[in-house]
Structure 1
Amino acid sequence: MDKMKRSTYLFVDDLVGNRVMVTQGHTVTLGRASEFRVGHDDPAMHRAFLHVWCDHGMWMIRNVGSFLSATIQPSLGGTAYSPVRLSPGVQWPLPAGVNSILFATKNMRYELEVTVVRPVQPVPRMDVPVAPLTTDTFSPNREQQQVLAALAAPLHRDPSASPRIAVPSVADLARQLGWGEKKTSQKIQHMAETLNELGVPEFQQGVNVPWRIVLARFAAENPQFYA
């Protein structure tokens, strides 16, 4: 049990009575003839469709089928994020919390839930240091994580897409998050300034690219900050 508390694991639930727990160091494949059976009586379902594994503490899902696609709808703490389309050959990091996975064949529609459980790290007690506190860390709060996830989503859906075209405008992002444009712009600006102060090269002054584009690229390459 102590080891379980220190490691990450996930549950796969087909919502019709079948559920399996997968621990770090193990994998599971979903499909008509895989370890976790999905659509066993549906000839249009891939024998092996979705493969799930853990890579250095980050749970990943990959579409190993040849023509079916899946849609992943992540949610964390009651907040729903942008859906992600998982086409054949595409892989995606599964964020902590409940992820609804939807897909369909010509015969049937399916829905699964994949719940990622991350360990809660205890905060060690320590004396207050005499020297100045270290400030060179980037620790986005919940709302900032929402912005990062929403900006990165289209680049994860299509890694070949041009960020200038795929990344939502401030107005679209605000509508998506249910915020005002001013608040959304302030969140983007604050994170860009923070990353600039931390010396992240992409955010140094003189970059002639809108901050939301730069931040979207950064978020797509660093899912650990919001997943």
Structure 2
Amino acid sequence: MSLSLEFCGEWFSVDPNEAFIIGREGPLRIEDNPYLHRRFLAISCADGLWWMENVGSRLSATVADSEGATQAYLQPGARLPLVYASTNIIFTAGPTTYEMQLLNDTPAYTPTGVTDSTDAGETTIGPIELTPSQLLLVLALAEPVLTGRGTTSSIPSSQVAAKRLGWPITRFNRKLDHVCERLTRYGVRGLHGGPEKLAVNRRARLVEHAVATRLVTSDDLFKLDDPSSYDDSSV
């Protein structure tokens, strides 16, 4: 069985006999980000399956199949099997968002369709439809990631995204609240938390989920050229 990982155009082969570490140390070393754990994600082989474990203490990762049909929120201490032929990994450390792809030549599961069920909030299956204004908001936040696929990106502040859309910041924040509440009701985790949660964490988690599940794609970006034409008055 063979597993390969692509990051910023560079390919890595994962050895089934030793853990493959993603972090500031290890085979996939990202040294220039002090917000990233030394050891963040560990990929290993056991019981005939590939596994990914979050061995960090603070950061989480979004893991989804390439079609965006299923996605998991991998929190510190969590572990999941890598059962798809192609798996996308997205995570944010400090101001930077990273995107990686895993290719598995012996996948244990091949999706046959999309359903609307959820599993206790751990995994979300199937996309939902956003209103036109909600889609614009998510696009404004996800634009750097969608235009820079294969590179690292920074998620814009609410002020910058609101200006991109020509909205007052109060409207942007209100709609951001509604989008996060809606996705939380749908079972998406990490969009709501206590007062200690930084606002950037919510925006990053929203972008990670939207890009990983193909809620927004680069094909939608043209709407940002003339957002007023695609806006609506609904929440």
What's the TM-score, normalizing by structure 1? 0.49
Rg larger in structure: 1
What's the TM-score, normalizing by structure 2? 0.48
